[in-house]
Amino acid sequence: MDNTDGEILGILARSARVSFSELGGAVGLSANAVAARVRKLEGDGVILGYTTVVAADVERQVSSLEVFIDVRLDGSTDFGTFASKLSEFREVADTVHMTGPFDALVHAYVQDTTALDVFLGRLKRECGAGQTQTRVALRSHARLARR
């Protein structure tokens, strides 16, 4: 492995979808020459594969129930404290302070109804939720538009 191979690896690490033509231009080689180097790096086990990394939010949305939870806080918890505690929950996509009969609206993704039950219990025990009302999304317009 030489400096050119190192440059190639650096570029591929930042963008594995770069074309051989672009890669060759960046390191001063033809597309065919750089393709041969990449194949050799793959054959030598330096490049183990290529992958797609999905943002956590997208992965969560694809494999989960989307829920909207109205929360009335108990008398000892303010919204700031509630929101701060919720920031540690990976299920939570967003939390907003609301007017009306409930203090907050929590937008979350849970794996299934069992996980929802556990999540609701944690809201009450750990975050100061006095009362909750949950709605489960049947479908999202944004998701339908992507298909």
* Residue 127 pLDDT > 90: yes
User: Residue 21's pLDDT is what?
Assistant: 93
Distance separating alpha carbons of residues 34 and 22, to the nearest angstrom: 10
Helix runs in 102-140, H state only: 113-127
* Residue 54 pLDDT > 60: no
Q: Is 14 helix (H, G, I), strand (E, B) or coil?
A: helix
pLDDT digits (tens, 9 = 90+) for 55-112: 555 555 555 799 999 999 998 999 999 999 998 899 999 999 999 999 999 999 999 9
Confidence of residue 53 (pLDDT cuts 50, 70, 90): low
pLDDT digits (tens, 9 = 90+) for 8-46: 988 888 888 889 999 999 999 999 999 999 999 999 988
Q: What angle do CA 137, 64, 121 make, to 5 degrees?
A: 85
Q: Is 20 helix (H, G, I), strand (E, B) or coil?
A: helix
Q: Could you give the domains of the chain? A: 3-43 (1.10.10), 56-139 (3.30.70.920)
* Residue 122 pLDDT > 90: yes
User: Residue 132's pLDDT is what?
Assistant: 97
In sequence order, what DSSP letters do the residues of 27-95 get, joined into one string?
HT--HHHHHHHHHHHHHTTSS-----PPPHHHHHHHTSEEEEEEEEEPTT--HHHHHHHHTT-TTEEEE
Confidence of residue 147 (pLDDT cuts 50, 70, 90): very low
